Structure 1
Amino acid sequence: MSRALRRAAVVTCACLTVSLTAGVSLADVTPDDKARVQQEKSDADSRVHNLTGHLHDTDEQLTSAYQALQETQSKLPGAEAELRQAQDAEAEAIADEQRARTAVEVAQAREGRARDELAATIESIESSRQDVARFAAQIYQEQGGIGELAIAMEATTPQEFADRLALVDTVMDVQHGQIGRLTTAKADKVAQEALLEALRVEKEEAQAEAQAALQRASDARVRAHDAKQALDYLAAQQQAQTAELETQKAATQQRLDQAQSDQDRLEADLKEIARQEHILEQERLAKLERERQAKIERERQAKIERERQAKIERERQAKLERERQAERDQEAARERDQASRSNPAPAPAPAPAPAPAPPPVSSSVLTRPCPSGCWVSSEFGMR
């Protein structure tokens, strides 16, 4: 994760912490407060989902990194063994090269001796040639170039003849010996030249083989060292990657724990808001019920008051009717008295007709009194 993303995540968590610390007063929750908490809860759910997925991906990457690191570390012993073998082979090649150098030095010494022997042989051949040439020149100068028989025939006595023949044999033996030595020296020269060439070739081959073996061992050591160094570098990289993934996992886990804590707290806030709303709704319904009951009670009291007023009005009307009836009775009595004074002993006048009853009032309450003092509840005389 880049530093910018980490910084943004830290700022987001800090802002969330501040907003949650400010919180809402659950005693007087408004619709805006509830909407804000629901939005924060939705954001927290989204963060928990994303961080859980990120943590899962990090775990998979960490598992792969651990497997790769274990695989690399399992190759290190083989690479170290191969490096040790290459180092041992290089040391052996160095020893072989040193032995080859020693052999080359020995061959060079033998070559030097062979060169000295060849030079001595060449010198001996040259000396023999010179001896043969001097001897031939001396014989030629002394004897005039005559042959062996001429030398013998010049003798004057038999003894001189025998001496001359012995001298000729000796000279010939010396000449043949010198020629034989010259031939042998030439053969030795050819053999020494062949040996010298063989020693030179052997020296060059031994030196070339030692150099090639040393180069092969050195190349093998370099390859083994490079392979070991590459594995060490790869292991170091994988360890650093594993450590980075561990750090990312810890940071992600910390953010996930914080987001889950925020999620739980916001969930508790929403539950508390729902509880408060339920309480407020119950209080509202209770208030409505009280208002309804109060209205019913007011209507009942109003009905009772109307009935009472109607009863009072009926009693007043009945009283007025009785008073009017009494006045009519008194008027009738006065008229009878006057008539009796103007016409003595008249026949008694018939009793006046009773006053008509007031029209019945249809109502569900008592409307008028009956003769026995009770109240009639309807115009049909039902009580």
Structure 2
Amino acid sequence: MARRRLPAVLAAFALVAGIAVASPALADPIDDRRKAAEQRAAANAKAQADAEAAMEGLDANLQATASRLLDLQAQIPAAQAKLDEAKAALEKAQREAALIAARLVDAQEQQVTLSAKIQTDTDEAAKMRAAIGQMAREAYRGGGEVSGVSVILDAQSTEDFVQKYGLVSTALRTQAQVLDALKAAEASNRNAQARLDAVEDRIAELKAEADQKVVEADQAREAAADAKASLDALVAEQQAQQASLESQKSALAAALAQMDAEAKAIENELRAAIEAQRARDAAAGRPQPAPGPVGGGLFGNPTSISPMYVTSEYGMRLHPTLGYVRLHAGIDLRTYCNTKVYAGRAGTVTWAKTRFGFGNQVMIDSGFVNGNAVSASYNHLTSFAVATGQRVERGQLIGYSGNTGTSAACHLHFEVYVNGATTNPRPLLGL
């Protein structure tokens, strides 16, 4: 059960839930952003648990709206992280596509250069072959093979010999040079052709890679668009839920006031009963001693879950979407719908009835402990197994757990009253 202690914070109604949806800095690694999203999700899970405790006592419509807003708050960080990842994937695909495009342009430029070189070398080789053929034809018309012996025999004088021998030597050297140049041109052509073949293979590979990157970029762009649409839808719904809560502000204030009145009525009823008991004891000559400390372990496990499992502690709660601070005046113990609930301590059933917010409630008076009047309430029960005025023993079945009243889910909300005021039940349960 939650009780209002700081009503002034209603001015912050529906503002606490604001979620920043701006993208993290682009320089942040995706892993860091994912980790941050996980931390936000864990914080939202805790907020959900605290809110369920704080929402006890609220109208069902308010609970539903506030719960949905909490769900949205939990989903938005994950949706933002998904959008960031999709954007990063798209940017990566675009960068890789640009890199592949640059490599393809370079390879195509190499293809053009090598093709031109091959054509030039082919033309030069053709010219050299033509020149060699011309030399051969000239030699054939001049008498066939030319040698040093024929030059000597045919010479008419020493001067004639020197002149003819010089011409023959020059012709032979020219022919050898042309042959060497032809061989070099043909070798260069073969090397250029091999490089051209490799470049053309690479061009085919790059074109295939470029086509794949286009597909990947399209998929990443579609994923980013879907993620953006999902995030926009969540944010729009969040804004609508916040507006709905704002419109129910007066209903919230009324619900809180009614809860406060019911809690105050319970305390007044218990204090009146305590004063009446003290008066009867004094009249009978059995006055109670001055109140002393209340020891731990007064109560046994009231649930069928062993060991006991606390789902929400005693203490102040800031509702993360409604913006008010309330005291969660007991502890919530895990039970399941329609499971057995037992008396944690022997006593007399003060009442077994339905109370606003608390649902079906059993209040058990366990008398005085070291001068202190001790009672405990068992709340949100589905049904009763005891009646008002009945004496019960520790461990006796008193009802079945449930979700009556303004409860968020089946559980046992257990409260302990010492001298008419709530106290933390944890130590008194031996926890």
**TM-score tier (shorter):** 0.3 to 0.5
TM-score by length of 1: 0.42
Structure with greater helix percent: 1
Question: Which has the larger share of strand?
Answer: 2
Q: Which structure is larger by alpha-carbon Rg, 1 or 2?
A: 1
TM-score (norm 2): 0.38
